[in-house]
Chains A and B, each alone.
Chain A
Amino acid sequence: MPAEPSELLRSLHDAHAPALWRFVVHLTNDRALADDVVQETLLRAWQRPEVMARPEPALRAWLFTVARHLVIDDRRSARQRHEFGMDRPPETGMADQTDKVLDAWLIADALAGLSKEHREVLLHSYYQRESTAEMALKLQIPEGTVKSRLHYALRAMRLSLQESGVTR
């Protein structure tokens, strides 16, 4: 036995609940529903030893796919009271497309999780293609501070994406 079930559930929760929850809130804008969907998703994973045994990126992808399907099912049942409307089981529905979309969301989520200062320089640098000199001028900070903030911002991104399983 690897660990006490409750311990396993707690670590599953700690590792995945925050990002999953934000993901569902992002999809539904409904916090109460997000609570339910995340709990159900974690529970379903926890009930499946074969899912829990998967490597981290695969487990994460499974969780996000199940959560997304639960949201879709909820919308459907709200519309037509269809109880079982899943087109594809999560096991086979893991297209590359889905992974890409999920990664993009996780990356955007990691960006949103940066401090205001770190997020600011990263947006200016990468998405607006500004040089450190341009940023220093715009943000009224020394060039050395721009470089330093970029350094810590990108390190924070890397850590966050490692935690969410986007990179190793």
Chain B
Amino acid sequence: MIPVEPDKYREWDAAYVLGSLVPAERAAYERHLAGCTQCRTAVAELAGLPGLLAEVAPADALASVPREGAEVPQNLLTGLAGKIRRRRFRTRVGMAALAVGISTASVGVTLAVTPPPSAVVVQTQAAAVTLDFASVVAGPINAVGTLTSQPWGTRLDWTCTYSLASGPTSRHYASPSGLSKASGLPEPSGLPDAVAPVYGYTLVVIDRRGAEVQVASWTAGPGTRVTPTATTSIVAADIARVEIRSAGGEILLAAEP
């Protein structure tokens, strides 16, 4: 075995690219570089770093403190998993309610929406009135729905399609929920594995006297299609207008039965 002479310049690469070698050493190192592939490779690997260090102002760099103690909490990932489970669960409940139909979905609503005492009991299921939503502002959302008179008021069913095409109508994409102080971060409902439904929408019913009631809220994102159902105690004949609004309150689509 031929003893390999250790390269005394092996660790000079950084001092060289940082410009910290004294002139004599710099000249010596450059002469060495001419004949040493390993050192040339090492220098090439570090050559980009001074330019990156330059992006930090010297004052900021000097003021930076070692980050001891500022480590990401261990339970962050566990908390994340919990968040997903909660959303999944809620989604399943929501889907089940939709699948079973209005009988299940209205259980929660009935408590809040008592039938008007004066309501004449109409046994026949009135024919559905079409809601032909027209765009108020151009956007990727289309919707069509129906109003159906019920003994207790009106049921609204609609399908809302969110096209994949993105265009100049960024407003529809631009309203992810803000953070609410009370409950922490907003939790978009919907399937976590599906295309992200993070944009919030509401369905608002306006009666003939101009009073408005929000009857539903949901989230959707590009490429999704939702078919929510909502109920209201307002009788169908009193409904003047139905609007789909962004969660920020902007009227996106409107229909007049």
B residues 117-174 with Cβ under 8 Å of A?
166, 170, 173-174
Contact with B along A100-115 (1 / 0, CB 8 A): 1001100111011111
CA distance A77 to B175 in the complex (A): 13
Verify if A161 is at the interface (C-beta below 8 Å from B): yes
- The verdict on A17 contacting B181 (CB below 8 Å), with A44-B198, A131-B20, A151-B14 known, is no
Does B45 lie within 8 Å of A111, measured CB to CB?
A: no
Does B66 lie within 8 Å of A108, measured CB to CB?
A: no
Task: Count residues on chain A whose CB falls below 8 Å from chain B CBs.
Answer: 80
In this complex, the interface size class of chain B, counting residues with CB under 8 Å from chain A, is 35 or more
- The verdict on A77 contacting B80 (CB below 8 Å), with A89-B174, A131-B22, A151-B11 known, is no
Does A148 lie within 8 Å of B80, measured CB to CB?
A: no
Nearest-Cβ distance from residue B224 to partner chain A, whole angstroms? 11
- The verdict on A151 contacting B13 (CB below 8 Å), with A13-B80, A39-B80 known, is yes
Contacts of A103 in B (CB 8 A): 52, 55
Looking at chain B's contact residues, the main secondary structure is loop
Contacts of B192 in A (CB 8 A): 5, 43, 46-47
Contacts of A133 in B (CB 8 A): 22
- The verdict on A104 contacting B56 (CB below 8 Å), with A47-B196, A113-B67, A132-B21 known, is yes
Verify if A116 is at the interface (C-beta below 8 Å from B): yes
CA distance A129 to B164 in the complex (A): 53
- Of B17, B21, B76, the contact of A39 (CB 8 Å cutoff): B76
Nearest-Cβ distance from residue B181 to partner chain A, whole angstroms? 6
Contacts of B210 in A (CB 8 A): none
For B14, B15, B55, B67, the residue with the greatest tally of chain A CB atoms inside 10 Å of its CB is B14
Q: Which of B57-65, B92-100, B105-113, B227-235 is found at the contact surface with chain A?
A: B57-65
Does A127 lie within 8 Å of B58, measured CB to CB?
A: yes
Does A83 lie within 8 Å of B178, measured CB to CB?
A: yes
Verify if B77 is at the interface (C-beta below 8 Å from A): yes
CA distance A164 to B173 in the complex (A): 28
- Nearest residue, chain A, Cβ from B200: A84
Does A83 lie within 8 Å of B180, measured CB to CB?
A: yes
- Of B45, B77, B83, B248, the contact of A84 (CB 8 Å cutoff): B248
Please list 23 pairs of residues, one from A and one from B, whose beta carbons are closer than 8 Å in the complex, sorted by A's number.
Answer: A5-B193, A13-B80, A18-B72, A35-B79, A37-B179, A46-B192, A83-B177, A84-B200, A85-B178, A86-B174, A91-B166, A103-B52, A108-B60, A112-B65, A125-B20, A126-B19, A126-B61, A133-B22, A147-B14, A150-B20, A157-B53, A158-B46, A161-B52
Known pairs A36-B185, A88-B170; list 11 more (Cβ under 8 Å): A10-B77, A18-B71, A21-B72, A38-B72, A47-B193, A84-B177, A89-B173, A92-B170, A119-B66, A125-B15, A126-B20
Tell me the A residues contacting B by CB distance below 8 Å.
5-6, 9-10, 13, 17-18, 21-22, 25, 31, 35-40, 42-44, 46-49, 69-70, 73-74, 76-78, 82-89, 91-92, 100, 103-104, 107-109, 111-116, 119, 122-123, 125-133, 135, 144, 146-148, 150-151, 153-155, 157-158, 161, 166-167
